[in-house]
Structure 1
Amino acid sequence: MTTPLHSKRGADLLHDPFLNKGTAFTDAERDAFGLRGLLPPRVMSQDEQMERILPGVRSKPSPLEQYVYLVALHDRNVTLFYRLVMDHLEELMPILYTPTVGQACQEFGRIFRRSRGMYITAADKGHVAEVLANWPQDDIRMIVVTDGERILGLGDLGANGMGIPIGKLTLYTACAGVAPNQCLPITIDVGTNNTTLRESHSYVGLRQPRLRGAEYDELLDEFVEAVQARFPMACLQFEDFGNHNAFSLLERWRDRICTFNDDIQGTASVALAGLYSAARISGTPLRDMRLLFLGAGEAGIGIGDLVVEALCSEGLSLAEARRHCWFVDSKGLVEHSRTDLAEHKKPFAHDHAPVKTLLEAVESLKPHAIIGVSGTPNTFTKDVLEAMARERARPIVLALSNPTSKAECTALQAYSATDGRAIFASGSPFAPVTYKGKTHVPGQGNNAYIFPGVGLGVTVSASSRVTEAMFASAARTLASMVTDDDLAIGRIYPSLSRIREVSRAIAIEVATLAFDRGLARVERPADIAAAVTDAMFEPHYVSLI
């Protein structure tokens, strides 16, 4: 008799979302695992299950209700969930991630049904390793962690921010095939300064002000060290931390463990890819562009740093490369005379007269591209967009803030104010726009084009580090996959329908870099491309006997 692949039986098997097949358990499996009578008698194929599930999603009256429905599906049948998501990614990505995930985080306590991932709290200080020992899986390869302080453009949502690590890891699997049982979402709950949330009866986190200073730093150090001991092969992705902590954590750990910050480095990579593609439309190469950023936080400085690296690789000096990047923050242009600049802004403080507004900066600097990473909506005003159009035949407008409600401008506003000449992309999706008889398809500068492929490449190579070179390579790879047909309709990123293809290509480049530079902790395979393909999870049922 064949030995079963696991020991679970009966209701315990049905309640394990990684093993449960629901009505798709075969007659032989029902007999082998004591399932006879616990399921309706008809055995259904996965295709037949799909025919039931998809109409259920579409019947829900709002995106948030669709989100709740999909989460419930994941909680009972992981394989069917990913089959549904992968087959309908363009339709469901906006539900499972931005923009709907923002609302899901805001209402996390109200829609909470079943816990996923782990919560490390300020009260666990001194015992973090004991808490991590409670996780049932040992072979964890991707961890996404947040402390909830800067969730998308929505601010401090505390423990409600767990929706972000869950959503990110969903995309690791759906977009790149990182095995779902090797993924772990974690929220570090150190309180929240959002008093309205803290006083809400539905809030699921600690009802205390946010921990700061040495106690916070000690807790995070303990957490990182405990992760290394418990999950030594895992890549640790920091997500949606406040600016100060995001930069300091990345600086502290990037050269010591396998880690990255997607808000800084993933956003940078997808933006750089967009600029490469936009250069093909405008005819102006990146090395000849002047870029003006609105926002000088994690995303903006991250993009600036990666652009600088790309320009230096083309032969520019560090000082020359930095002069291509200019920043406007809440107090005006980042320039040398200012005495209020945070450390991460100072490398981009150039010689220039003080400028207070974005419009003045556009008129003075005449940038080829404006890049919005401010989290402040409607800041790319009609006047700003018209000023861009006066100076550039094909102005580049990247309104990257998420969710949709935080975008610096809409696609329609960008095309209308520039007489249809803008090269536009956004962080959250916008529908195609028909202007003066021509249909423009806005690109979505979604980090999901980058981080899943990087994560897969790191996983396949068991890389000990995630480097800037990997993100630069990912940007070039992504840009190379934009077709002439994409550019003809104004789209500077490939269709999301190709995201598994994109992620595989990026993973191959990242894994190759890891092997070439001695960062891999496994033996180099004879065929890296084949190894990447073989590692990609496919959502099909396998026999349990």
Structure 2
Amino acid sequence: MTCSRCGQDILRDPLQNRGSAFTEEQRDQLGVRGFLPARVETLEEQARRAVAFMRTFPMPIQRYFYLDALHNTNETLFFKVVCDNIEEVMPIIYTPTVGEACQKFSHNFLQARGLFISVKEKGQIGKILDNVKQDDVEVIVVTDGQRILGLGDQGVNGMGIPVGKLALYTACAGVAPEKTLPVVIDVGTNNPAYLADPLYMGLRQERVSGAAYDELIDEFMVAARKRWPNVLIQFEDFGNANAFRLLARWKDKSLCFNDDIQGTACVALTGFYSAMRVTGGKLADQRVLFLGAGEAATGIANLIAEAIADEEGMPIEEARKRCYLFDSKGLVIAQRTDLSAHKRQFAHEAQPAESFLQAIQQLRPTAIVGVAAQQNAFNSMVIGEMSAINERPIVFALSNPTSKAECTAEMAYQFSNGRALFASGSPFDVVNYNGKTFVPRQGNNSYVFPALGRAATFVKAKTMPTGMFLAAARKLAELVSEEDLERGSLYPSLSDIRPISEAIAVAVAEYAYEKGLACGEKPQDLPAAIKASMYTPGY
């Protein structure tokens, strides 16, 4: 005897639902006969229909909401679509479209995904985590929504970011979807539009800060590790003041990292290694000027310095002198007295510069990195000056979404007469300039954070030290081919992201075993073991 109510429940569970792919036998066994059309389909047939239907929507945001509905209906089918069409789908479920989805989250809310923890639940977080039915969560991505991409405070609307990040953990590096958990910590919002919006889904109050905020985050971190002792917690899109403090507080106590600080740095460092293959010389020979002085800028600058110190055997303080920051008040220099702690370590002896162009003329950098979400800040004068100083200027416009990019790929090549070594935070189309075809590629965190997570959870690491991020950056750089470089690509094709993630996960796991960071014995065939641990969508 079967239970039709149980069968209906299965059809509503995205982790169990197979839709039209339930076999004749399964339809009888599970009590779903009569709730589905007669035809039994394969996963491949379902995926073809889903992709064809997705493509009927003309706007990326429409495709996002269709895929979100599919994600909430049949996770296996969703990931089959994503994995088989990664280059097409990634800009929809991740940046840049996810930014627009976050802005529209409350007005388009249909079904909850993940965990919403508000400051009202302070003291009860352990009980809330006990409500989660998964007993083996490997990766949590958590945000408080304060600094979503380059869009600022999105409050609870920022849930789209953890959902999108975890979809990439699964699609890129094979972390099983049932072992992931997106979380938003709702402490309010300082966004006046949301505070005045009657449809806003979060707490309509100004952000909680200070001791009450820290106690809430501490409670969450302790409760999450108690519920899932080996879980990796990725901090995502916290505001600068909280991001640096939280990372410093927890990085040596728990398996965690901040993607905006460390993940962005890792993939940006790869871009520099690739650029060095074109220009010659060493990382230590570079002089890098950042437009921006927040999480991304100081994260990248610190990892560059760590790499230089490791490769040259020099003190980290000396290595940091290769990197300069430019913030809203001008060049960050030693004479300034208004600097926060994360900026002071890059406050070098130099003359003041009030404009970014003036800073370029004064410092004569080999590279400029945009991480300030200032659209078109790398204009013809800026890139022209970089091209006058350098035969092959390095121009990284890493802010996202696309509307916040410091320049487009076309601008970079046009203003440099085709000489720029360019990377971006959001995707740009192929550029044809002066008879040459350039294939610009994103310095996309998805190259590294899923693989880092796969490695860290595979070896059951207790923490994630800097060496893991250096290992990931160096392995990714090895995967950039000469053909990639010839076309202006500083990264490999995202269409190969699964084998790329496998290779990076192996390199990071090797580092963990070598440095005594792993629990348990190293498998005899580590690459095969990691490959076997990776989820592949299938019924």
TMscore range, shorter length:
over 0.9
Q: Map Cα deviations across residues 41-86 of structure 1 (whole Å, 9 max, x no partner).
A: 1111112112211111000121111000001111110001000000
Aligned to 2:504: 506
**Do structure 1's residue 281 and structure 2's residue 278 form an aligned pair?**
yes
Aligned to 2:112: 115
Aligned to 2:236: 239
Number of aligned residue pairs: give it: 537
Aligned to 1:441: 439
Which residue of the other structure, out of 196, 221, 236, is the alignment partner of 1:199? 196
**Offset of residue 364 of structure 1:** 0.8
**8 A Cα contact 1:525 1:531, kept in partner:** yes
Q: How many angstroms apart in 1 are the aligned matches of 2:40 and 2:444? A: 39
Q: How many angstroms apart in 2 are the aligned matches of 1:203 and 1:231? A: 31
Q: Map Cα deviations across residues 193-231 of structure 1 (whole Å, 9 max, x no partner).
A: 001112212211001000011110111111111111111
**Do structure 1's residue 159 and structure 2's residue 170 form an aligned pair?**
no
Which residue of the other structure, out of 74, 90, 95, is the alignment partner of 2:71? 74
Write the letter of the residue equivalent to 1:450: V
**8 A Cα contact 1:153 1:401, kept in partner:** yes
Q: How many angstroms apart in 2 are the aligned matches of 1:376 and 1:191? A: 26
**Do structure 1's residue 23 and structure 2's residue 20 form an aligned pair?**
yes
Q: Map Cα deviations across residues 398-426 of structure 1 (whole Å, 9 max, x no partner).
A: 00001000000111111111111001110
**8 A Cα contact 1:198 1:207, kept in partner:** yes
Q: How many angstroms apart in 2 are the aligned matches of 1:135 and 1:487? A: 46
Q: How many angstroms apart in 2 are the aligned matches of 1:214 and 1:51? A: 52
Q: How many angstroms apart in 1 are the aligned matches of 2:110 and 2:457? A: 31
**Offset of residue 379 of structure 1:** 1.1
**8 A Cα contact 1:8 1:33, kept in partner:** no
**Offset of residue 32 of structure 1:** 1.1
SS of residue in 2 equivalent to 1:19: coil
Q: How many angstroms apart in 1 are the aligned matches of 2:392 and 2:55? A: 39
**Offset of residue 517 of structure 1:** 2.2
Aligned to 2:360: 362
- Going from structure 1 to structure 2, the CA distance change for 1:383 and 1:52 (only over 3 Å counts) comes to same
Aligned to 2:336: 338
C-alpha RMSD of the superposition:
1.3
Q: How many angstroms apart in 1 are the aligned matches of 2:502 and 2:465? A: 18
**Offset of residue 524 of structure 1:** 2.4
Which residue of the other structure, out of 199, 224, 229, is the alignment partner of 2:226? 229
Aligned to 1:251: 248
Aligned to 1:217: 214
Which residue of the other structure, out of 287, 290, 303, is the alignment partner of 2:287? 290
Q: How many angstroms apart in 2 are the aligned matches of 1:75 and 1:484? A: 41
Aligned to 2:491: 493
SS of residue in 1 equivalent to 2:368: strand
The equivalences for 1:178-193 within 5 A come to 178-193=175-190
Q: Map Cα deviations across residues 447-500 of structure 1 (whole Å, 9 max, x no partner).
A: 000100000001111111111100000000000000000000000000011111
Q: How many angstroms apart in 2 are the aligned matches of 1:140 and 1:29? A: 28
Q: How many angstroms apart in 1 are the aligned matches of 2:148 and 2:277? A: 34
Which residue of the other structure, out of 321, 325, 343, is the alignment partner of 2:323? 325
Which residue of the other structure, out of 511, 514, 517, is the alignment partner of 2:515? 517
**8 A Cα contact 1:460 1:531, kept in partner:** no
Aligned to 1:477: 475
Write the letter of the residue equivalent to 2:13: D
Q: How many angstroms apart in 2 are the aligned matches of 1:498 and 1:446? A: 14
Q: How many angstroms apart in 1 are the aligned matches of 2:253 and 2:5? A: 40
**Do structure 1's residue 52 and structure 2's residue 49 form an aligned pair?**
yes
- Identity over aligned residues, as a percent? 54
**Do structure 1's residue 430 and structure 2's residue 428 form an aligned pair?**
yes
Aligned to 1:260: 257
Q: How many angstroms apart in 1 are the aligned matches of 2:160 and 2:447? A: 19
SS of residue in 2 equivalent to 1:323: helix
Q: How many angstroms apart in 2 are the aligned matches of 1:382 and 1:458? A: 43
Q: Map Cα deviations across residues 301-328 of structure 1 (whole Å, 9 max, x no partner).
A: 0001101110011123323211111111
Q: How many angstroms apart in 2 are the aligned matches of 1:94 and 1:370? A: 25
Q: How many angstroms apart in 1 are the aligned matches of 2:399 and 2:275? A: 19
Q: How many angstroms apart in 1 are the aligned matches of 2:29 and 2:5? A: 11
Q: Which 10-residue stretch deviates more, 197-206 or 91-100?
A: 197-206
Q: Which 10-residue stretch deviates more, 404-413 or 372-381?
A: 372-381
Q: How many angstroms apart in 1 are the aligned matches of 2:521 and 2:10? A: 36
Aligned to 2:403: 405
Write the letter of the residue equivalent to 1:410: T
Q: Map Cα deviations across residues 330-377 of structure 1 (whole Å, 9 max, x no partner).
A: 111111100000001111111111111110111111111000111221
**8 A Cα contact 2:4 2:32, kept in partner:** no
Aligned to 1:177: 174
SS of residue in 2 equivalent to 1:328: strand
Deviating beyond 3 angstroms after TM superposition, the runs of 4 or more aligned structure 1 residues are 6-9
SS of residue in 2 equivalent to 1:355: coil
Q: How many angstroms apart in 2 are the aligned matches of 1:328 and 1:38? A: 61
**8 A Cα contact 1:149 1:192, kept in partner:** yes
The equivalences for 1:1-16 within 5 A come to 9-16=6-13
Q: Which 10-residue stretch deviates more, 445-454 or 509-518?
A: 509-518
Aligned to 1:63: 60
**Do structure 1's residue 351 and structure 2's residue 325 form an aligned pair?**
no
Q: How many angstroms apart in 2 are the aligned matches of 1:266 and 1:61? A: 32
Write the letter of the residue equivalent to 2:261: I
Write the letter of the residue equivalent to 1:506: I
Aligned to 2:372: 374
Q: How many angstroms apart in 1 are the aligned matches of 2:419 and 2:378? A: 15
**Offset of residue 510 of structure 1:** 1.5
Q: How many angstroms apart in 1 are the aligned matches of 2:40 and 2:290? A: 57
Q: How many angstroms apart in 2 are the aligned matches of 1:148 and 1:532? A: 33
Q: Unaligned stretches of 5+ in structure 2?
A: none
- Going from structure 1 to structure 2, the CA distance change for 1:469 and 1:40 (only over 3 Å counts) comes to same
Q: How many angstroms apart in 2 are the aligned matches of 1:198 and 1:164? A: 21
Aligned to 2:308: 311
Q: Which 10-residue stretch deviates more, 461-470 or 146-155?
A: 461-470
Q: Map Cα deviations across residues 161-209 of structure 1 (whole Å, 9 max, x no partner).
A: 0000000000000111111000000000000000111221221100100
- Going from structure 1 to structure 2, the CA distance change for 1:8 and 1:270 (only over 3 Å counts) comes to farther
Write the letter of the residue equivalent to 1:197: Y
SS of residue in 1 equivalent to 2:162: helix
Q: How many angstroms apart in 1 are the aligned matches of 2:396 and 2:422? A: 6
Aligned to 1:146: 143
Q: How many angstroms apart in 1 are the aligned matches of 2:316 and 2:453? A: 29
**Offset of residue 10 of structure 1:** 0.9
Write the letter of the residue equivalent to 2:470: A
Q: How many angstroms apart in 1 are the aligned matches of 2:481 and 2:29? A: 51
Q: How many angstroms apart in 1 are the aligned matches of 2:472 and 2:112? A: 33
Write the letter of the residue equivalent to 1:354: P
SS of residue in 2 equivalent to 1:350: coil
**8 A Cα contact 2:4 2:31, kept in partner:** no
**Offset of residue 527 of structure 1:** 1.7
**Offset of residue 285 of structure 1:** 2.1
Q: How many angstroms apart in 1 are the aligned matches of 2:264 and 2:92? A: 20
